[in-house]
Chain A
Amino acid sequence: MTDSAQRHILLVEDSRTQAARAQLVLRDAGYRVTIARDGEAAWQCISAEWFDIIVSDINMPGIDGYELCRRSKAEQRLRAIPFVLLTAQEDLEALVRGFEAGADDFITKPWMPSALQGRIAAVLQDPDRTGRGAKGASVERMTRLLLGRTVELEHAYRELGMHEAQLLTANEALAGERSALEVANKQLGAASLAKSEFLANMSHELRTPLNAILGFSDLLLNRPDGTYDRDSQVKFLTYVHGAGEHLLALINDILDLAKVEAGQMVLRPGPVDLADLIGEIMATVAPLAGDKGIDLVNRATAGELTADPGKLKQIVYNLLSNAIKFTPGGGRVEVRADWSALEVAISFSDTGVGMSADELGHLFQEFWQSERPTDEASRGTGLGLALTKKLVELHGGRVTVTSELGVGSTFTVRLPLRKSALELLKHPSDDAVGDKPLVLVAEDDKATATLLARWIRSAGYRVNLVRSGAEVLESARSLRPRFVTLDVLMPNTDGWSALTALKQDPETAGIPVIVVTIVDAPDIAAAKGADAYILKPVTRESILGALARFEPPPNAGDYQLGTPPS
């Protein structure tokens, strides 16, 4: 650079601040700088004056940097002026487009003053002013950029591959979840459909007897005296009565079913002499069979099993009365019991009307009724078999049927003989006598009793369980427990009277009684002399906390109390 030939730079930049900054930097380096604010102004400058170099921004209103470059390179006179474009870092597209427009070099924005000065000096000192060298440098830079971009792209591609694999896995997981949701949805749909069907059936089954009850009573009440003679009146009332009984049976069956469904049907297992039980039910249904001239045969061999006697009676009654209902007069109904090491199979065989395969499929469905009862009057609720099946299953057993149209049917109930399953449902056994202090737990709900016993034992006590108010009094007198926990809703004597009796008897009055109940009536409990009161559901903390208020637990180290109850 010589003084006499101060190099003249045309700086094309629409941003005033950028332009001012570049002007300062370039003047510092000894250049003369003319600024054009846009492509139009720049073109006028170029046409009017000679510049040693043009440095131009790309994005400008009107004629942009590429266009300005293209125009200046298209004129013979201007071709030789090096044209430098200001591009954004790594803007490959700008490089390519600028190169196409004929740019000699590129300066990336944002620039450092030294970079701007250096680049311009390099371009100006290039011996070949047509820009070959600069172009060569640009190509090299572009190649470098492209290579870098290729590496980046390969990297990105690999990452995409990995993402794709992850997406595939996620997609599979989603598909799995989706099908699980679909299954659940289908099940919900089926459950909802079953519920609607149940409601529709129940409505039908309730309306049928109500029709007779309301209709006949209406006729008898609202017709003038003398409309019906006594025989008609008796006939109407007999129908009303029958419909009422049918309704009652229906309601009982529905409640039983609902109890099983809700898991509230509790078995009270005990030893059962099966042949005795079958004989008892046979005596009950004998008149039904007798009326139709059906031969009832008991071939059950003696044996004992553990079952809830009441529920087992219901099972046997339902199947026996069913067999009689579907057996024509003069037929035969036979009950057998076949014992094996694991189970007893109780079978009920009849010479009745039998069932088709289709009917067998609906047999245990709620409200489904066979169309072939041998007498209309004995039409049932349609719930008997559904309930029977549930009661058998509650005992861990199952019901099977074989049938042939016109020949007869055999229902077989298989009940397990292993006692363990049923014994789990029994009251946890009382602790043997020992030196630990005794707590008498009066509770008829097995689950609650089991939990109470476990928690109280963990605090170092012995536990004895009783199930009724009467037993509480007796046990409290004979065992003299340290504490009594008392459920106030129990069979026989109710808990409140048991509490009163305990507190009135001088022998037991001093034993602290903790009322454990779902009845929210602490004032009654206190009035009757309860020493503490816990509302169910009971927790380990609440029961042990209550005991701890009277004495430190025998092994306090074994458990941690939460916040002591106030």
Chain B
Amino acid sequence: MTESEAPATILVVEDNPANLLLAEEILKLAGYRTIGASSAEQAQGSIEKQMPDLILLDIRMPGMDGLKFVRMLRSSPITARLPIIALTAQAMADEQAAGIAAGFDAYLVKPIQQALLLEAVGRALTHCA
């Protein structure tokens, strides 16, 4: 991690266009570089082209859902230790437990609380650097 030289790149995966734009906007304002993807499949292509420093991942999406995607990323040696944070509208306790079990480093519930999001992103980047 070369924080002083270049900002961290965060891949935001979210199928709802409004919520994708919102998350990217918040992260950009905090100084991060963002890449948007509207599905897990699109995110996969993006990772192959450029490895992000962190992934912010929605769970309920058409096609491959976030839980399946995070499991897939954890099973690959290249992305096994990549910081991945869930940002989802699934707020039930059992849903959160399932998310953590699937391999998310943190689990954030919508609506986004900006301070919480930035804190979680910052912590994940430092810990996994």
Contacts and interface: CB of A to CB of B under 8 A. Distances in A.
Interface string A239-253: 100110000000000
B91 A207 contact: yes
Contacts of A227: 29
Interface stretch (A16-24, A208-216, A534-542): A208-216
Contact of B110 (A210, A216, A223, A372): A210
B92 A210 contact: no
B112 A215 contact: yes
Interface in B18-43: 18-19, 21-22, 25-26, 29, 38
Contacts of A210: 110-111
B43 to A, nearest CB: 16
A371 interface: yes
A216 B26 CA distance: 9
Interface in B54-82: 60, 62-63
A199 B94 CA distance: 13
A182 B105 CA distance: 42
Contacts of A203: 89-92
Interface in A262-317: none
B89 to A, nearest CB: 4
B26 A215 contact: yes
B17 A376 contact: yes
Contacts of B18: 212, 216, 239, 242-243
A275 B16 CA distance: 38
Interface in A407-438: none
B15 interface: yes
Interface of B is mostly: loop
Contacts of B106: none
B109 A207 contact: yes
B50 interface: no
Contacts of B17: 239, 376-377
A219 B19 CA distance: 13
A372 B62 CA distance: 8
A207 B114 contact: no
A207 B29 CA distance: 23
A219 B25 contact: yes
B22 A211 contact: yes
Given A239-B21, A372-B62, A212 B91 contact: no
A376 B17 CA distance: 8
A200 B19 contact: no
Contact of B22 (A206, A215, A372): A215
A275 B88 CA distance: 45
Contact of A219 (B22, B38, B91, B111): B22
Nearest to A214: B111
A549 interface: no
Contacts of A231: none
A158 interface: no
Interface residues of B, number: 24
A121 B117 CA distance: 111
Contact of B89 (A199, A204, A216, A218): A204
Nearest to A239: B18
Nearest to B21: A239
A376 B91 contact: no
B112 A204 contact: no
Nearest to A376: B17
Given A210-B110, A210-B111, A211-B111, A204 B22 contact: no
Contacts of B109: 207
Nearest to B61: A371
B19 A223 contact: no
Given A204-B60, A207-B109, A207-B111, A212 B92 contact: no
A214 B62 CA distance: 24
A377 B17 CA distance: 8
A112 B50 CA distance: 113
A219 B26 CA distance: 8
Contacts of A376: 15-17, 38
A218 B29 CA distance: 13
Given A215-B26, A215-B111, A215-B112, A208 B92 contact: no
B51 to A, nearest CB: 27
A214 B92 CA distance: 20
Given A216-B18, A219-B25, A207 B92 contact: no
Interface string A495-529: 00000000000000000000000000000000000
A199 B112 CA distance: 20
Contacts of B19: 208, 211-212, 215
A2 to B, nearest CB: 103
Contacts of A206: 89
Contacts of B111: 207, 210-211, 213-215
Given A212-B22, A216-B22, A207 B62 contact: no
Contacts of B112: 211, 214-215
A211 B89 contact: yes
A210 to B, nearest CB: 5
Nearest to A197: B92
A200 B92 contact: yes
Nearest to B25: A219
Nearest to B63: A371
Nearest to A212: B18
17 contacts: A203-B90, A210-B110, A210-B111, A211-B22, A211-B111, A212-B16, A212-B22, A215-B19, A215-B112, A216-B18, A235-B21, A239-B17, A239-B21, A371-B62, A371-B63, A376-B15, A376-B38
Given A204-B90, A206-B89, A211-B112, 6 more contacts: A203-B92, A208-B89, A211-B110, A223-B29, A227-B29, A242-B18
Interface of B: 15-19, 21-22, 25-26, 29, 38, 60, 62-63, 89-92, 95, 109-112, 114
* Pairs A-B, 10 closest by C-beta atoms: A371-B62, A207-B89, A239-B18, A211-B110, A212-B18, A215-B22, A211-B111, A204-B89, A214-B111, A207-B110
